[in-house]
């Protein structure tokens, strides 16, 4: 979703800002813009489309200046055109703003400002905010940080903003509530970003701006932070672990393919120091410190969105099987508004790759207010959700740039698996023998994924057959029902083919009506307690001339012979099979999208980090 980048220092700001915008492209956007202060003038250049379009637009214009802010916009209020793109000027054109988030009370504020003579060029809520800041500045005769503070006290909604004043080329004021913001500290220079990706090239010293905090970045002066309630804060400097090479494609044509292929390594990283095959043990610091909360939990609620919600479903299966604690899985967006019954003996697990998803963050807040213990499973270190939970576990897969989540999903499943096995062992609901067997098998997973990845070429070949299709059905049972949904989500996200994931047995209650020789049906038919039943479901599809693509266990000739195409995966414990079964589905979606000529890493309308509700 919208990306923010800013720079103040002694270098020319333009190339830093453009490069920063490119690093933020993965978040998803539809227009881009930049504001530069050359010491005298405050200029704004913006354009619909990609950052490369902005570069063309800015060619031969005055791009001087050592202070500037830049933005990629994912449209919320007003269509994605040049006028609605950020930055936005205030009425006098003395102030400019970039904004990520939604000002919910913008129409009331706009009306008030209109009565004071303000006029508006765009349809955005953001322009209302910069006019309000200008109004506060002029009527109260205050400096920019104070004007921002006064304005934000009037605002309902979520924001990360950065503001520059024509009359002060030595200052950027930035603030956040609900949307992420990071400040990078270099040698006599500051950077600001929606995340650390535009900053990492220049410094590894960062300050994560907290909720309702305003930060003032002044040339040659220390960073100043205060809350919108006027409490001064001491900036806490963190060291970034991110490396530049992690943000590059490393020879792969797309980030998504690179991330699919990284999974043997990312899962090893995720298990490193946690799953110890020699001492036959699993150690999770976030669990050990709060063991009683888990062991005494009457219920576990898992809340998440998108792909993370699918991993939550797998978590439900494995926690209930081995830890014998009732689990409920909730879409964060529903949970936060449906007045759920939450008890102080509940453990709420929030799963989020980005750690910034607005609905999941709000679900965390709600659960916290109701006294539950909150455990986060997140990837982005230092992001908002892990900073708002009581405890948690990072997935440690490195930056995930492709909008369609792949390596984050498998690592989320891995963390949930480790957690389930640990609770089960501690509670005595999982026998020592099974615990040891599962630990051993967990360690085999990276190698087994490597073996599946070696089949990429055959998946690529048969993917071509299906580009004609406008619909797909994905079927699975038990642990692989969520995998079917995840496979369908991958396909629709990046190839724009409509796809539905269904529990295989439910097919006869509706989707069977859709089956014809035009309809590809992807069936996860690996060896499991319900294998025979899935074989019967395949027969039902065959009888109606549906085209079967199956994911089977190596050596399974029965389903192979019933299928038009099949991909075999190594045998494993049933509860771990999602970690393997999802890999061919990721590759299938990827190759279909590539053959269709789709923009795999930045699919239309989608955002990597959904920071608005």
Determine the interface stretch with ligand G6P among 123-131, 349-357, 415-423, 510-518 (rule: CB under 6 A): 349-357
Work out whether 357 is an interface residue with ligand G6P (CB under 6 A). Answer: yes
Contacts of 351 (CB under 8 A, 6+ apart): 302, 303, 304, 308, 309, 311, 312, 315, 360, 376, 377, 378, 412, 416
CA distance 529 to 462: 29
Considering the complex, state which of residue 169 and residue 355 has its C-beta at the smaller distance from ligand G6P. 355
Q: What is the DSSP string of 75-97?
A: -SSS-SSTTTSSPEE-TTSSEEE
Per CB under 6 A, 495 contacts ligand G6P: no
Indicate whether 306 belongs to the interface with ligand G6P (CB under 6 A). Answer: yes
- Contact with ligand G6P (CB under 6 A): which of 353, 480, 572, 586? 353
Q: What share of the chain is helix, strand, coil (3-state, %, to 5)?
A: 40, 25, 35
Of 540-569, binders to ligand G6P (CB under 6 A) are none
- As a whole number of angstroms, the distance between CA 194 and CA 177 comes to 12
DSSP state letters, 513-555: GG-STT-EEEEEE-SSTTHHHHHHHHHHHHHTTPEEEEEEETT
Q: In whole angstroms, how close is the CB of 139 to ligand G6P at the nearest point?
A: 40
Instruction: Report the residue from 47, 384, 405, 566 that binds ligand G6P according to the rule CB under 6 A.
Output: 405
Question: Rule CB under 6 A: is residue 305 a binding residue for ligand G6P?
Answer: yes
Tokens of 282: 């699993």
Q: Residue 295: helix, strand or coil by DSSP?
A: helix
Task: Work out which of 84, 126, 194, 308 binds ligand G6P, going by CB under 6 A.
Answer: 308
Cα(first)–Cα(last) distance of the chain, in Å?
11
Q: Which is nearer to ligand G6P, 100 or 352 (CB)?
A: 352
- Given 47, 263, 352, 563, the residue binding ligand G6P (CB under 6 A): 352
Kindly tell me which of 595 and 606 has the beta carbon lying closer to ligand G6P. 606
Does residue number 485 form part of the binding site for ligand G6P (CB under 6 A)? no
Q: How far is the CB of 342 from ligand G6P (least distance, A)?
A: 20
Does 2 qualify as catalytic in the annotation?
A: yes
Instruction: State the nearest-atom distance from the C-beta of 411 to ligand G6P, in Å.
Output: 11
**Residue ranges of the alpha helices (H) in 80-189?**
106-115, 125-140, 144-152
- Nearest-10 crossing angle of helices 263-271, 407-427: 30
- Give the integer Cα–Cα distance in Å for 439 and 442: 5
Q: Which of 360, 391, 463, 602 binds ligand G6P (CB under 6 A)?
A: 360
For residues 552 and 525, is the Cβ–Cβ distance under 8 A? yes
Phi, psi of 441 (to 5 degrees): -70, -35
Torsion angle defined by CA atoms of residues 331, 333, 335 and 337, in that order, rounded to the nearest 10 degrees: -160
Q: Is 403 in the site for ligand G6P (CB under 6 A)?
A: yes
Cβ 446 vs Cβ 346: under 8 Å: no
- Of 17 and 377, nearer to ligand G6P (C-beta) is 377
With binding defined as CB under 6 A, does residue 307 bind ligand G6P? yes
Encoded one letter per residue, x for contact with ligand G6P by CB under 6 A and - for no contact, window 200-229 reads ------------------------------
In whole angstroms, the minimum distance from the beta carbon of 152 to ligand G6P comes to 25
What is the Cα–Cα distance from 264 to 250, expressed in whole angstroms? 16
Residues 16-55 that bind ligand G6P (CB under 6 A): none
Q: What is the DSSP letter of 209?
A: P
Q: Determine the interface stretch with ligand G6P among 100-108, 350-358, 556-564, 579-587 (rule: CB under 6 A).
A: 350-358
Q: How far apart are CA 355 and CA 610, in angstroms?
A: 10
For 308-371, give the DSSP string: HHHHHHHHHHHHHHHH---EEEEEHHHHTTS-----TTEEEEEEESSS--HHHHHHHHHHHHTT
* Nearer to ligand G6P (CB atom), residue 194 or residue 308: 308
Nearer to ligand G6P, 354 or 563 (CB): 354
Give the binding range for ligand G6P (CB under 6 A) out of 56-64, 243-251, 417-425, 604-612: 604-612
Q: Which of 122, 263, 354, 563 binds ligand G6P (CB under 6 A)?
A: 354
Instruction: Compare residues 223 and 606 and give the one whose CB is closer to ligand G6P.
Output: 606
Residue range at the interface with ligand G6P (CB under 6 A); choices 129-137, 348-356, 498-506, 516-524: 348-356
Nearer to ligand G6P, 360 or 568 (CB): 360
Among 46, 110, 137, 608, the active-site one is: 608
| Non-local CB neighbours of 447 within 8 Å, separated by 6+ positions | 264
Instruction: Name the minimum Å distance from CB 203 to ligand G6P.
Output: 25
Q: Check binding of 91 to ligand G6P (CB under 6 A).
A: no
Give 520 or 603: the residue with its C-beta nearer to ligand G6P.
603
Of the two residues 217 and 497, which places its CB atom closer to ligand G6P in the complex?
A: 497
Residue 606 near ligand G6P by CB under 6 A:
yes
Residue of 82, 134, 85, 130 lying closest to 103 (CA atoms): 130
Q: Give CA–CA dist 606/422, Å, rounded.
A: 36
Q: How many residues bind ligand G6P (CB under 6 A)?
A: 15
Q: What's the rounded Cα separation, in Å, for the pair 32 and 25?
A: 10
Q: Cα–Cα distance between 192 and 223 in angstroms, integer?
A: 12
Tell me which stretch binds ligand G6P (CB under 6 A): 256-264, 354-362, 496-504, 517-525: 354-362
**Of all residues in this chain, which one has the CB nearest to ligand G6P in the complex?**
306
Catalytic (active-site) positions: 2, 608
For ligand G6P, the binding residues (CB under 6 A) are 305-308, 352-354, 357, 360, 403, 405, 606, 608-610
């Amino acid at each position: 979703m919208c990306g923010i980048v800013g720079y103040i220092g002694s270098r020319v700001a333009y190339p830093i800002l453009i490069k920063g915008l490119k690093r933020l492209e993965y978040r998803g956007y539809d227009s881009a813009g930049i504001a530069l202060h050359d010491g005298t003038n405050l200029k704004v250049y913006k354009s619909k489309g990609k950052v490369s379009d902005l570069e063309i637009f800015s060619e031969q214009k005055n791009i001087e200046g050592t202070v500037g802010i830049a933005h990629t916009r994912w449209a919320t209020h007003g269509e994605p055109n040049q006028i609605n793109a950020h930055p936005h000027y205030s009425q006098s054109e003395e102030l400019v703003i970039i904004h990520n988030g939604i000002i919910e009370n913008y129409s009331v504020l706009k009306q008030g400002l209109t009565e004071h003579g303000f006029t508006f060029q765009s349809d955005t809520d953001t322009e209302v905010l910069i006019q309000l800041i200008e109004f506060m500045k002029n009527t109260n005769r205050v400096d920019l940080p104070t004007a921002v503070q006064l304005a934000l006290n009037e605002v309902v909604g979520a924001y990360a903003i950065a503001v520059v004043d024509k009359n002060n080329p030595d200052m950027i004021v930035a603030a956040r509530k609900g949307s992420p913001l990071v400040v990078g500290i270099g040698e006599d220079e500051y950077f600001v970003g929606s995340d650390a990706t535009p900053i990492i090239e220049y410094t590894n010293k960062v300050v994560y701006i907290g909720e309702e905090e305003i930060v003032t970045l002044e040339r040659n002066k220390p960073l100043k932070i205060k809350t919108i309630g006027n409490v001064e804060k001491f900036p806490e400097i963190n060291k970034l672990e991110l490396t530049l090479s992690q943000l590059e494609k490393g020879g792969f044509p797309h980030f998504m393919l690179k991330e699919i292929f990284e999974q043997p390594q990312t899962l090893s990283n995720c298990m490193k120091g946690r799953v110890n095959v020699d001492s036959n043990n699993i150690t999770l610091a976030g669990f050990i410190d709060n063991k009683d909360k888990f062991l005494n939990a009457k219920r576990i609620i898992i809340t998440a969105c998108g792909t993370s919600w699918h991993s939550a479903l797998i978590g439900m299966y494995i926690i209930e099987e081995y830890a014998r604690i009732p689990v409920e899985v909730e879409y964060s967006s529903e949970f936060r508004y449906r007045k759920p019954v939450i008890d102080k003996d509940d453990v709420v697990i929030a799963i989020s790759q980005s750690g910034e998803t607005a609905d999941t963050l709000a679900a965390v807040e709600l659960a916290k207010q109701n006294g539950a213990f909150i455990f986060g499973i997140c990837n982005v270190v230092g992001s908002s959700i892990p900073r708002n939970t009581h405890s948690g576990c990072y997935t440690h897969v490195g930056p995930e740039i492709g909008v369609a989540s792949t390596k984050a999903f498998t690592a989320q499943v891995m963390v949930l698996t480790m957690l389930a096995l640990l609770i089960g062992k501690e509670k005595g609901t999982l026998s020592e023998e099974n615990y040891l067997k599962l630990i051993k098998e967990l360690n085999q997973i990276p190698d087994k994924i490597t073996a599946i990845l070696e089949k990429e070429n055959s998946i690529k070949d048969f993917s071509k057959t299906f580009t004609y299709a406008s619909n797909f059905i994905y079927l699975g049972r038990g642990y692989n029902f969520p995998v079917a949904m995840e496979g369908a989500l991958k396909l629709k996200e990046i190839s724009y083919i409509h796809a539905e994931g269904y529990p295989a047995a439910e097919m006869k209650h509706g989707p069977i009506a859709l089956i014809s020789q035009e309809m590809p049906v992807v069936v996860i038919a690996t060896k499991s307690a319900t294998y025979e039943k899935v074989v019967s479901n395949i027969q039902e599809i065959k009888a109606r001339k549906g085209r079967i693509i199956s994911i089977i266990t190596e050596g399974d000739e029965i389903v192979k012979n019933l299928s038009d195409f099949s991909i075999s995966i190594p045998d494993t414990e049933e509860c771990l099979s999602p970690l393997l079964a999802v890999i061919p589905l990721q590759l299938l979606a990827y190759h279909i999208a590539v053959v269709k000529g789709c923009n795999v890493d930045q699919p239309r309308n989608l955002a990597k980090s959904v920071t608005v509700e």
